[in-house]
Amino acid sequence: MPGQIPLIGERFPEIDVVTTKGKLKLPDYFKGKWFILFSHPGDFTPVCTTEFYSFSKRIDEFRKLGVELIGLSVDSNVSHIEWVRWIKEKLGIEVPFPIIADPTGSVAAKLGMIHAESATATVRAVFIVDPNGIVRAILYYPLELGRNIDEILRMVRGLQTIDRSGLVLPANWPNNELIGSKGLVRPPATVGDADEYLKRYKGYAWWFLYSDIPQ
């Protein structure tokens, strides 16, 4: 039976896992760092292989943001090891992050990664977790559609910018059609604040104001 998906704002569940890099305890293994846990339906499948190639190729961009990656599927550790060896030999890139082996499906079930679309394979889930072990964003893709790595990187940059600036971010940030790369001011809580914000910020209304993002 599917488990309960951890909610945004909740602490990532404590789980002991077996991976291609050894036994790990989550989220403690990544304490003090952002990490992204992403599941895939199965090793030696075409869409998943393109995703692992893309994640591996972009690993430096993730690490510049202080982000580590960890994969997961219901395949065995032996299957994972053979698959990453195949990727390195045939596609010329090394998978630099651990992959969780979950042949019983217990980890996937605990994270709500097995859906009606398949009773056994994990869907393409993405959990973005902050340095405090708090789930900050969740994405789900169907089995047939590979993930957009640029969007996952954008989400991390956006979340880190929100934390740093106290602003919130518009659609298509940092290329929003109305305010470009600026951030949106959180709506004021009182009438007095609304009047003050109108003096301090530019915008379209007292509840729709924007500001440069501090560097």
Active site residues: 48
Distance CA 215, CA 212 (A): 9
Query: By the 8 A CB rule, do 17 and 105 touch?
Result: no
Please confirm whether the linkage preceding 27 is cis (ω < 30° from 0): yes
Query: By the 8 A CB rule, do 78 and 85 touch?
Result: no
Q: Per-residue DSSP letters for 140-180? A: EE-TTS---HHHHHHHHHHHHHHHHHS-B--TTTTSBTTTB
Cα separation values, 49 from 74, 106, 136, Å = 15, 23, 26
Distance CA 108, CA 89 (A): 29
Which letter does DSSP use for residue 30 in this model? G
